[in-house]
Structure 1
Amino acid sequence: MERRKFLKGAALGAGATALATPALAQGGKTMTIVSTWPRDFPGLGISAQRLAARIGQLSDGAINVEYFAAGERVGAFDSFDEVASGNSQAYIAADYYWVGKHPAFAYFTAVPFGMTVVEWNAWVKFGGGQALWDKVSGEFGLKSLVCGATGTQAGGWFNKEINSPEDLKGLKMRIPGLGGNVMSKLGVSTVSLPGGQIYENLVSGAIDATEWVGPYNDYFMKFYEAAKYYYTAGMHEPNANLALGMNKAWWESLSDWERAVIEAASAEETANMYEEAMALNGQYLAKLIDEQGVEVREFGEDVWDAFGEAAAEVFEETRDHSDLAVEVDDAFQAALREIGGAMALFETKFVNERNRVLGLGG
């Protein structure tokens, strides 16, 4: 109970505002949204609540939004079946939670050595990615839209330094998606836990390490109480885009205007969540270091190389699943090379040279 109170207070202290339930319009469409995040959860949970409120606001109450955080209507990882069955109309989640349903879902959150937020959004919006997402989700009676983005995530929290690939062997780590499969190949025992259960497992010693998001989100999780080593950029989630997954039959029952309202609110929140993280990550990284004594580390090249070799095996295994998995992987990898190649020549080149000239980033 005290943990929940802390998270709520921390979120509000970080500049979040209380989100009022949108006014209900008589005779409007009902949209029940279930989330994989606890209520008032810093970053992710606040974003989900903000999106739910915004849909009601933009529709002027014509869409009656009922929002339920994780555990309030169904458990976090029960959200998929809840919406696919039609019991609720939508979930807000990271679609890589559903790789047990189909491994191609991972490509619509994040995959190892994948696209950044800008690259991924370009692929989904203008490179055919949305059509493939529709194809994967459609197999389960769902329609998904992007509704959030964290940016490149931290490599994670560890209770010891990782100086070589051998240091990973035997660790128990919370890391979902294909990134978890990569870690498993390197000798890590991986688990997939809802966000609200990570802290207790780390503090109790049930796990030795965890990935979460980045400094802004991670500061409030207090992982530093059990793991002092905080690793910068990880291979596992270079973008981490989130999904508003809707029951397809319900989506198709909406008018063009109602669908446009939901699309607009989702696009707005995708930008807001990403930009909020970019604005606050530096500030909260400093607080982690200065206030909590967190030791920031980065993985060495030999560790990155081991990640790369394991990732290549994971992608081959993913492709073995089905023709649809091959179709998604082919399209994703082609877009990564085309979009990422151009990015490397312009944005990445500029940022690297700017940081070198100005002495940024250590």
Structure 2
Amino acid sequence: MKRRDFLKGAPGAVAAGTVAAAGVAMPAIAQSSPAIKWRMTSSFPKPLDALFGNAEMFAKLVGEATDGQFQIQCFGPGEIVPALQALDAAQNGTVECAHTPIYFYTGKETALAFGTGVPFSFNSRLQYAWLLNGGGNALMDEALAKFNVVGFPCGQSGTQMGGWFRKEINTPEDWKGLKFRIGGLGGDVLARLGVVPQQIAGGDIYPALERGTIDAAEFVSPYDDEKLGFAKVAKYYYAPGFWEGGAMLHMVVNRDKWNALPKHYQAIMRQAADASTNWMLAKYDAFNGPALKRLIGTGTELRFFPNPVLDSAWTAAHQLYGEMAAKNPLFKKALDSMIAFRTENYLWWQVNEYAFDTLMIRNRTKT
């Protein structure tokens, strides 16, 4: 029910009092709910209806909750700024807000990597739990403050795939010299194993892989990867994406524009971000399985990273984290927080969540 309809629909027993109150309240509501139009840039191509669709869902929910008074128009990469400059655009006021994974900007502040997720950190639920209840959001607020933006989680992919390769990865030595499209600290970790990491926006990956500018590429999931056509230019599809166990996206808002909003508009934005995060994760959970089946049915060869490959990456990751923590106190705070939360909560996961999932997977063909 819209707020104005609610005010008009009071019971007859208090009609006289309600009319009198409404005469005062209606203008007050109009004044406290100003008409605002914002622009949002996304780091994701418009055809990706889970990723760009998450930004659209967020804007839709904000509009509905404000009776259309607060409208946010969504723009894709290149329409206002390139995909990897979304944070910059919100920072300098080119747009009021941006929808992006903040690990794209670790060159500016390494601690931002934890907002999206670092290699060997969390699955989707624990990433969100750490941000909301484990101190993660406060740490990201501290990291983002220097860029004149406010940020909050807005979108979650679930565990991502390990990517598309033209050759098999059987040993740690197979990484050497591989030009691999990968974002965030995953690229820094694999660089220690000989990979030549390439950070390329989603819409530019296919032509780079097709031309041989890169040898392999990871993006998100079967649902998106099928749309982008990667199976046409690479044969082997690897799991899991250990660098993104549960990648979180963020809405970053220019701080001055944020502070100028009515408080209830700020609350609506945060609630819309939470709702659109759940919407996005549910979409992936529903559609990744069928997409993977279709890909395999048309010739894609599914592979899993062998344990020696995973173990070498684990060692490289934690060596890198130790070095980065020694250089950046905020990175160290986030790292210590992440490791403590991971250690504590995966114990519970092993006891119950993992045990239940294992049971159900083992029995899935019995009914």
Aligned equivalents of 1:358, 1:37: Cα separation in 2: 35
Letter in 1 for 2:142: K
Letter in 2 for 1:220: K
Letter in 2 for 1:82: A
Native 8 Å contact 1:289 1:295 kept in 2: yes
User: Of the candidates 96, 109, 119, which is equivalent to residue 103 of structure 2?
Assistant: 96
Alignment of 1:261-276 (within 5 A): 261-276=268-283
**Deviation at 1:117?**
1.0
1:175 corresponds to which residue? 182
**Deviation at 1:31?**
2.1
2:305 corresponds to which residue? 299
Letter in 1 for 2:46: R
> Structure 1 residue 35 and structure 2 residue 42: aligned?
yes
**Deviation at 1:211?**
0.6
Structure 1: gaps of 5 or more residues: 1-25
> Deviation per CA, 1:169-207, whole angstroms, max 9, x where unpaired?
111000011111111111011110010100000000000
Alignment of 1:109-188 (within 5 A): 109-188=116-195
Aligned equivalents of 1:42, 1:206: Cα separation in 2: 27
User: Of the candidates 64, 68, 78, which is equivalent to residue 61 of structure 1?
Assistant: 68
User: Of the candidates 194, 217, 224, which is equivalent to residue 217 of structure 1?
Assistant: 224
> Deviation per CA, 1:116-143, whole angstroms, max 9, x where unpaired?
1111111111222111111111121111
2:29 corresponds to which residue? none
Structure 2: gaps of 5 or more residues: 1-32
**Range moving further from structure 2, 49-58 or 163-172:** 49-58
Aligned equivalents of 1:79, 1:119: Cα separation in 2: 26
Aligned equivalents of 1:169, 1:319: Cα separation in 2: 26
Aligned equivalents of 1:66, 1:226: Cα separation in 2: 34
Alignment of 1:259-338 (within 5 A): 259-290=266-297, 292-338=298-344
Aligned residues: 335
Aligned equivalents of 1:196, 1:58: Cα separation in 2: 32
Letter in 2 for 1:345: V
User: Of the candidates 85, 89, 95, which is equivalent to residue 92 of structure 2?
Assistant: 85
Aligned equivalents of 2:273, 2:176: Cα separation in 1: 40
Secondary structure of 1:320's match? helix
In our comparison, the structure showing a higher alpha carbon Rg is 2
1:17 corresponds to which residue? none
Aligned equivalents of 2:249, 2:364: Cα separation in 1: 33
- Output the TM-score relative to the length of structure 1: 0.89
Percentage of pairs with the same residue = 35
Aligned equivalents of 1:54, 1:69: Cα separation in 2: 19
Letter in 2 for 1:66: Q
Aligned equivalents of 1:42, 1:208: Cα separation in 2: 27
Aligned equivalents of 1:129, 1:202: Cα separation in 2: 35
2:27 corresponds to which residue? none
Aligned equivalents of 1:339, 1:142: Cα separation in 2: 31
- Output the TM-score relative to the length of structure 2: 0.88
Native 8 Å contact 2:34 2:70 kept in 1: no
Letter in 2 for 1:337: T
Letter in 2 for 1:132: L
1:348 corresponds to which residue? 354
User: Of the candidates 186, 198, 209, which is equivalent to residue 202 of structure 1?
Assistant: 209
Aligned equivalents of 2:151, 2:346: Cα separation in 1: 24
**Deviation at 1:306?**
0.9
**Deviation at 1:27?**
4.9
Aligned equivalents of 1:90, 1:341: Cα separation in 2: 38
Aligned equivalents of 1:193, 1:135: Cα separation in 2: 27
Aligned equivalents of 2:72, 2:268: Cα separation in 1: 12
